[in-house]
Amino acid sequence: MASIAENISSLRTRIRQAELRCGRSPHSVSVLAVSKTQDADGIQEAWAAGQREFGENYVQEALGKISELAQRIPDSGIHWHFIGPIQSNKTRDIAEHFSWVHSVERLKIAQRLSAQRPAELPPLNVCVQVNLSGEDSKSGLPLAEAPALCEQISRLPALRLRGLMAIPAPCDDMEQQRRVFRPLAQLQKEMSSRFPDFDTLSIGMSADYEAAIAEGSTLVRIGTALFGART
């Protein structure tokens, strides 16, 4: 079985190849290592291989790993991204311990994150989550409602509006994957002229990241292809 370091190297190669095929600039796509259910040892192995961006879905699980890795690797340069559904009673922990939040879908949550962000920290980078497939089981707001929420978030003092995120329904057909991603990518382009830091399109996971790259993703969220099957 390949090591995490080998998986990272292979993934980087495939992403560079996808960029080339799609006419994208080299290194225009970043990797967010989805480390939910992974222990601190696995994250440290990925860090040793050069990975610095890690995504977590569950606040309590993440806080333990954040604390442990801060002790193991002082000044690690790790940036923690929260990518799961956000409960109101978890916003303070998220505001205090994460650099990014990809899953904002309500103004109330954004307001709490802004109010609870410590003054000594830089603004919290925020993406608005869109529900592309209309599934009740998926988080996110409808595509048509995203511009209004982005406008409201852009006025909050401790947040930095960075872009859009989505988790579409699973699909094995690459052309269909691209069709689903396309409206979000188009909205991203349109809104980048309205908001100065609107530079992030957080789409693509282990099973569909090549389609996401073809449609303009700037950040792919990879778990299984990097760490192996979840336990």
Q: How many CB atoms are located within 10 Å of the residue 31 CB?
A: 23
Residues above pLDDT 90, as percent of the chain: 94
Contacts of 85 (CB under 8 A, 6+ apart): 103, 139
Q: Which domains does the chain have, with CATH numbers?
A: 4-227 (3.20.20.10)
Alpha-carbon distance 33 to 24, whole Å?
A: 21
214, 226 contact by CB (below 8 A): no
The per-residue pLDDT for range 119-165, each reduced to its tens digit, is 999 999 999 999 997 777 678 999 999 999 999 999 999 999 999 99
Q: How does pLDDT run across 37-52, given as a tens digit for each residue?
A: 999 999 999 999 999 9
pLDDT digits (tens, 9 = 90+) for 176-191: 999 999 999 999 999 9
The token pair at 35 is 């480390």
- Which helix (DSSP H) or strand (DSSP E) does residue 11 occupy? helix 4-21
